[in-house]
Structure 1
């Protein structure tokens, strides 16, 4: 049984813990680096939680096994919520954790009156592409090269909300 709960500012240490683990274990799929985020102070983590709604996935023992954030992406429509930093611990993948995290974003976006939820995925991130498509996201053919590595390309996926 997995519990999904919205993190508040006082959860900053849990968010820091899971974010740094995600960067250690799967750093190549994120737009940031472990070295950069290890330098962040408590005040930065708290600011992140004030500005970006974040959800944590906890296992039966209360250990954090995943997270996701949603933002109003600059330049995107105001009725779109953009998924960032979705990560599930390797030992918990393919057990519905990612699905539950995306569902928390969807439910909140709907409650806020958003029309769509979007995310960017690299073509080579097969697990994330599979999860997103099964969760109702569709490809947009909007693609771009990654700034940090132009040999890698990602595509925007969108889910229209009811």
Structure 2
């Protein structure tokens, strides 16, 4: 199992590498444009790590095998924390790493005083839907079409924190 640790500003290159890899391999389900994010400079990646808690999953050799970021989503309640950029490398999927990354955000959200954690999942991303439901998230029936592909939709899921 990989070790999960919070990234600091000095980890900006690791964050950049795993983010760009995730977009290369799973860009159709992650959304943002690979070409756009490839243009980001070091200052942008450092700012991203400073402004939004990000965790990296590293294997015994120090290779990054997954990541997740927690934000306060614009327009959401102040006591909600939102999961973005959740990704697990294909070679280690279905081994509990996604679950561990979601749990890391859940614990950080509780520590941060949040009452809920939310995330958006594309309707046809069955693995992400399954992970979300198993992790205790509930469907909200709040849906919208994707900007990049209006023929596809995503739904918001919420986990209430005790």
TM-score range, shorter chain: over 0.9
Distance in 1 separating the partners of 2:31 and 2:79: 24
Q: Which residue number corresponds to residue 151 of structure 1?
A: 151
TM-score, normalisation: structure 2: 0.98
Q: Which residue number corresponds to residue 59 of structure 2?
A: 59
Matched, 1:90 2:74: no
5+ unaligned residues in a row in structure 2: which ranges? Answer: none
Matched, 1:73 2:73: yes
TM-score, normalisation: structure 1: 0.98
Matched, 1:111 2:111: yes
5+ unaligned residues in a row in structure 1: which ranges? Answer: none
Q: After superposition, where does 1:96-135 map in structure 2 within 5 Å?
A: 96-135=96-135
Distance in 1 separating the partners of 2:80 and 2:17: 28
Distance in 2 separating the partners of 1:22 and 1:2: 17
Shift of 1:51: 1.0
Count of residues in Structure 1 that have an aligned counterpart in Structure 2: 162
Distance in 2 separating the partners of 1:128 and 1:8: 27
Distance in 2 separating the partners of 1:56 and 1:4: 6
- SS class of match (1:149): coil
Shift of 1:62: 1.4
Distance in 2 separating the partners of 1:35 and 1:72: 25
Shift of 1:11: 0.2
Q: Which residue number corresponds to residue 13 of structure 1?
A: 13
Shift of 1:31: 2.5
Q: Which residue number corresponds to residue 31 of structure 1?
A: 31
**Coordinate RMSD, CA, aligned:** 0.6
Shift of 1:154: 0.2
Matched, 1:44 2:38: no
